[in-house]
Structure 1
Amino acid sequence: MTTAPAATVTPSGVVIAPPGLDRDQWLAARRTGIGGSDIAAVLGMSKYTSPLELYLDKTGELGDVPRSPELEEAAFWGHKHEPTIARVFAERTGLGVVEGPGMLAHVERRWMLANVDRYVIEPGERMPSSLLEIKTRSAFQLDEWLLGVPDGPALQTHWYLAVTGYSHAYVAALLGGNRLVIHRVERDEQLVEHLVALVGEFWQRVLDRTPPPVDGSEATEELLGHLYKVNADAVTVADPAEVLPLLERRRELKARETRTADELREVDNRLKAVAGEAEIVKLQGRVAFTWKQNGPLSTKRFIAAHPDLAAQYTYSVDALDTKRLAAEHPDEFRAHRARRLVVPKESTAA
């Protein structure tokens, strides 16, 4: 018996999971492909998720990696503001806005997934003809959003266009809680094709269980700090062909870092000498640089110069007694220590 193909609910999108799934079911559905929120990570453009972390997530190998409280808080408020932003978008544009039928996949490439925030209905029409992506961002990003949709949300929106088959989309961003910016995004077919090709290569890695290379991002650094359960004093016998070139490259970079720091300090010292007693240095009628006495207080010098005054402003604070904790609960102390990479100076020796 032949199974009938699923009916599309957008020009090229089919429903693969209904709304209202519990978290475990939703996460399982997400692991069947690549969604819009994954695109920046696939392309190495995410500040918070590296390609390696995304790969491990999709293969089910990631385990329990803690998410930062800041991200959790941002996600919470983004979810809370979403209905309000959708309603105000409809009021200001005159367009209809409806919730969707659940998680979508591309009708032919089922690994292309989309969790669309809202669908948009033109006046006089009954069916949606585009989609609405909703964002909540800091006021510090207002200038960037006034120029257009930033790269990350723009790529996510184009991914949704790729999945749904729509010709355009809308992005509504609430900046700082009191400024709504709305942009219409036209489908760029070349960009869509490029995204599908690049993301398809990543998804093939997932299917083949071929992890992406470790990169130099902060997200990967954070991941590696949580990824492995440490086996105390365990030894790995490494392949010299792999490790020796890395150690040599590290030595070169550290030496360059030292030279750069010395050169930068020399330039800064020469600029300070130019300023002398002045706090502001102008060049051709404009401020070139400043050297103001507005840095951190040198507490040691202040206490030595004004001990009585310092005593008036000295107070006690609650602090964790790490030495006693380490002595009385060594296992718990060790389990929560950060790992440090230490390379001996003679590391390049054969």
Structure 2
Amino acid sequence: MKYKEISYSNEEEWLSIRKKGIGGSDAGAIMGKNKYRDIIDVWNDKTGRVNEKFTSPAAQRGKDLEKNIFYSYKIDNPDKDILEVDKMYVHPKYDFIRANLDGEIVYENKKGILEIKTTTINKWNKYVEEWQNNIPESYLYQILHYFLVTGYEYAVLVAEIKFECFKSENTTPFDLDKRLQTIVINRSDWEDEIQELLNKEIEFWQCVKNDTEPRMIKTYGG
């Protein structure tokens, strides 16, 4: 079965629709893989106990740069169709499992997910642990959530990484060290984790519907 689509006309309408389901940015927190949010934070948001605001300098920077990164990737990949997505996708069976993709990729007649991230590295060991031949777990679970919704076979994470860790007394105010890094995630490598995520999201949404606080079964890094 193919996913359903929901249209929205502005950010306020999108936020209202988003409250009625689980989005990709919620998945890592529900699984205990997000160091900034946990499952109780998501539950408080979905049950209306708090009104989460997604505003911070880092989040705003990411929002401002997203289109630039999208078009940069599009220009550098003329052999692929890079498509914009202006609708929310909904799981064909579970309408509370929803996705807002940054874009889609069509390559060799197969459609995939384009996910765009920005991050700043203040310590080199953070890059080694989370990005060097790796992907931060919260981002991974966001993509696994999108696999759940779309049924697509692959995703490409395009991350603009700014290195603050290399600044020293010898650098000038005009120095800027950045790289655009791409990571390919194949659905077939993560089928067990995707099934585990589906089970956990179903369990979590029952807690939302029943207004019952979910159990904290795992913490970030645990």
Please, what TM-score do these two structures have when normalized by structure 1? 0.52
Cα distance in structure 2, aligned partners of 1:66 and 1:171:
24
Q: Indicate the residue corresponding to 1:185 in structure 2.
A: 185
Q: 1:173 to 1:66 in 2, by over 3 A?
A: closer
Q: Which runs of 5+ in 1 are unaligned?
A: 1-10, 219-350
Q: Does 1:78 align with 2:80?
A: no
Q: Distance in 2 between matches of 1:151 and 1:22?
A: 27
| Alignment partner of 1:136 is 2:79 | no
After TM superposition, give the deviation of residue 216 of structure 1 in Å. 10
- The one-character-per-residue Cα deviations of 1:89-147 (angstroms, maximum 9, x if unpaired) are 22333322111131111111111100100111226x5xx71110000011344433231
Which of residues 186, 192, 205 in structure 2 aligns to 1:203? 205
User: Between Structure 1 and Structure 2, which shows a larger proportion of strand residues?
Assistant: 2
Contact conserved, 1:35 with 1:113, CA < 8 A, in 2?
yes
Q: Provide the rounded CA distance (Å) in 1 between the counterparts of 2:75 and 2:127.
A: 21
Q: Which has the higher helix share?
A: 1
- The Cα shift of 1:191 comes to 1.7
Q: Secondary structure at the match of 2:10?
A: coil
Instruction: Indicate conservation of the 8 Å contact 2:153/2:186, yes or no.
Output: yes
Instruction: Identify the structure with bigger relative contact order (alpha carbons < 8 Å, sequence gap 6+).
Output: 2
Q: Which deviations, in whole Å up to 9, do the C-alpha atoms of 1:9-45 show, x marking residues without a partner? A: xx63211233x4232x222211211110001211222
SS of residue paired to 1:107: coil
Aligned to 1:276: none
- In 2, Cα distance between equivalents of 1:53 and 1:34: 13
The alpha-carbon distance between structure 1 residues 22 and 200, as it changes in their structure 2 partners (threshold 3 A), is same
Equivalent residue number for residue 116 of structure 1: 101
Structure 2's unaligned 5+ residue stretches are 163-176
User: Hey, what does 2:196 align to over in structure 1?
Assistant: 194
Q: 1:217 to 1:62 in 2, by over 3 A?
A: farther
In 2 relative to 1, CA 12–77 (structure 1 residues): closer, same or farther, beyond 3 Å? Answer: same
- Two-structure CA RMSD over aligned residues (Å): 2.4
Query: How many angstroms apart in 1 are the aligned matches of 2:17 and 2:31?
Result: 22
CA distance in structure 1 between the partners assigned to 2:214 and 2:92 by the alignment: 27
Query: CA offsets, 1:198-242, max 9 Å, x none?
Result: 111111110111112479979xxxxxxxxxxxxxxxxxxxxxxxx
1:147 partner SS: coil
Q: Verify the 8 A CA contact 2:33 2:219 in the aligned structure 1.
A: no
Contact 1:146 1:181 in 2 (8 A): no
CA contact 1:119–1:130 (8 Å) conserved in 2: yes
Counterparts of 2:206 and 2:218, CA distance in 1: 23
